[in-house]
Amino acid sequence: MESDRGGRFAALLRGEKPARPVVFPMVVANHAARLEGFSISEAVTQEDTLARVLYSAYRFYGYDLVMVFSDTMVEAEAMGAQVIIPDDDDPFLLDPPRVSRLEPANPDKDGRMPVVLGATRRLKALLDDEAPVLTSLKGPFSLSSFLHGIEKFLEDLLTDPGRAHEFLRIATDNQLAYAEAIVKAGGIPFIGDPVASGSLISPEMFREFARPYLEQLVSAVHECGARVGLHICGETKALLADMVATRADFLSIDEMDMALARQKVGENTVLMGNVSTRLMLEGTADKVAAAAKECLERGGPNLILSTSCDVPTDAPKENVQALVAAARQWGTV
């Protein structure tokens, strides 16, 4: 067992080049639950199960980080959105909250935020400094869209920007408290902002409605003395410079040419990514290994070798193993 995982991650974020690449295929609750024989609903509603499946998956695959991520709807649900939790599938948003006045939730009490925080605490206790624990939270833009309804929120960007900013402020307040609670629980906040995607909005909209609130969140985490990561789904070519400007400590990017991403963010930005999740699901272990190698060649050395988004529930374990092995073998053959 390697014992310098945490050290290598910290070194990477300090700007040093670790001897071997840090590797973390984004295994989260769904894949880990399936791997360990639990249903997804058990993993996303019980803090002990969530911690247990993530820990077991970490031991089984032997990657360098752990990510506490149950599903995208945790905060929206805690703020009053109606979320369906199927027996063995990812929770999904049914309706935005039906309240006249939205208020930030209490991270220690509302919805399943305590589940996520509890699992973070447990994993931190189990792993201590052996491996860093990332804990996922949503970017204010995505959370606002879940709270208002995605289409209505996107329309507001053009027709009622004032109302959009109102949602964003409330969502940001919620996330500031949640991020602080994550840091206190021993987690490294990892912001996912799937709706603030270049596939949906223009770079100008990102600059007006997403970036300022991300900046606020990032600097609040920095003030707590912690690091923070940022992931945006889908198309991000035109957003990379703005993602750098949020001052997040590492940027996780979805499918795109890693060499182009590296060129756009410069040598000093730590990137995380980006072996295709499609390939993880449908490809062979050989193809995953080749893609991982290409990723390291094009995006390294300031790179956390990872997947383009979360590892699909039913991705074959051989593919996840191949990605981890590619990092271990890097530079030796």
Partner 1 sequence: MIEGMADKDLFEQLAEAVTTMKPELVAELARKVLEQGLSPQDAMTQGLAAGMRRMGEKFAAKECFVPEVLLASKAMYAGFDILSKAASYKPQATKGKVILGVVQGDIHDIGKNIVKVMVQAAGFEVIDLGRNVPLPEFVKAAQNGAAVLGISSLMTTTMPRMGKVVEALDKAGLRPGVKVIVGGAPVTAQFARNIGADGFAPDAHAAVLEIERLTGRGEGLGTRD
Query: Should residue 202 be labelled a site residue for partner 1 when binding is judged by CB under 8 A?
Result: yes
Taking CB under 8 A as the rule, does residue 158 contact partner 1?
A: yes
CA 264 to chain CA centroid, Å, is 21
The binder of partner 1 chosen from 7, 80, 114, 234 (CB under 8 A): 234
Among 150, 177, 224, 244, binds partner 1 (CB under 8 A): 150
Q: What is the DSSP letter of 207?
A: I
Measured from the CB atom, is 83 or 230 closer to partner 1?
Answer: 83
Local structure of residue 314 (DSSP, 8 states): T
Q: Which is nearer to partner 1, 22 or 275 (CB)?
A: 275
Rounded to whole angstroms, the Cα distance separating 221 from 243 reads 16
Does residue number 90 form part of the binding site for partner 1 (CB under 8 A)?
yes
Binding to partner 1 (CB under 8 A) within 93-112 occurs at 93-94
Buried b / exposed e over 97-127, threshold 16 CB at 10 Å, is beeeebebbebeebbbbbbbbbbbbbbbebb
- Shortest Cβ 33–partner 1 spacing (Å): 12
By CB under 8 A, tell whether 92 contacts partner 1.
yes
Coil vs helix vs strand at 190: strand
Give the span between the Cα atoms of 316 and 58, in whole angstroms.
15
Per CB under 8 A, 157 contacts partner 1: yes
Comparison of 42 and 310: residue with beta carbon closer to partner 1: 310
Q: Looking at 155, 160, 257, 318, which residue binds partner 1 (CB under 8 A)?
A: 155
Please tell me the count of residues contacting partner 1 according to CB under 8 A.
Answer: 30
Looking at 185-268, list the stretches that DSSP marks H as alpha helix, in order from N- to C-terminal side.
203-205, 211-223, 240-245, 258-265
Q: Does 199 bind partner 1 (CB under 8 A)?
A: yes
Are 79 and 89 a contacting pair, CB within 8 Å? no
Interface mask toward partner 1 for 260-279; x: CB under 8 A: -----------------xx-
| Contact window for partner 1 (CB under 8 A) among 3-11, 155-163, 212-220, 222-230 | 155-163
303 DSSP β-pair partners: 271
- Comparing CB distances to partner 1, the nearer of 234 and 300 is 234
What angle separates helix 140-148 from helix 211-223, to the nearest 10 degrees? 120
Short-list 205, 312, 192, CA closest to 250: 192
Residue pair 192/72 in contact (Cβ under 8 Å)? The answer is: yes
Regarding 208 and contact with partner 1 (CB under 8 A), the answer is no
Integer Cα distance of 175 and 80 in angstroms: 15
Minimum CB distance to partner 1 smaller for 216 or for 277: 277
Per the CB < 8 A criterion, the answer to whether 9 and 64 are in contact is: yes
Nearer of residues 150 and 224 to partner 1, judged by Cβ: 150
Tell me which residue of 26, 70, 62, 15 sits closest to 311, measured CA to CA.
26
Least Å distance between CB 35 and partner 1?
Answer: 14
**Interaction between residue 288 and partner 1 (CB under 8 A):** no
Positions that interact with partner 1 (CB under 8 A): 30, 86, 89-90, 92-94, 150-151, 154-155, 157-159, 199-202, 205, 234, 277-278, 280-282, 309-310, 312-314
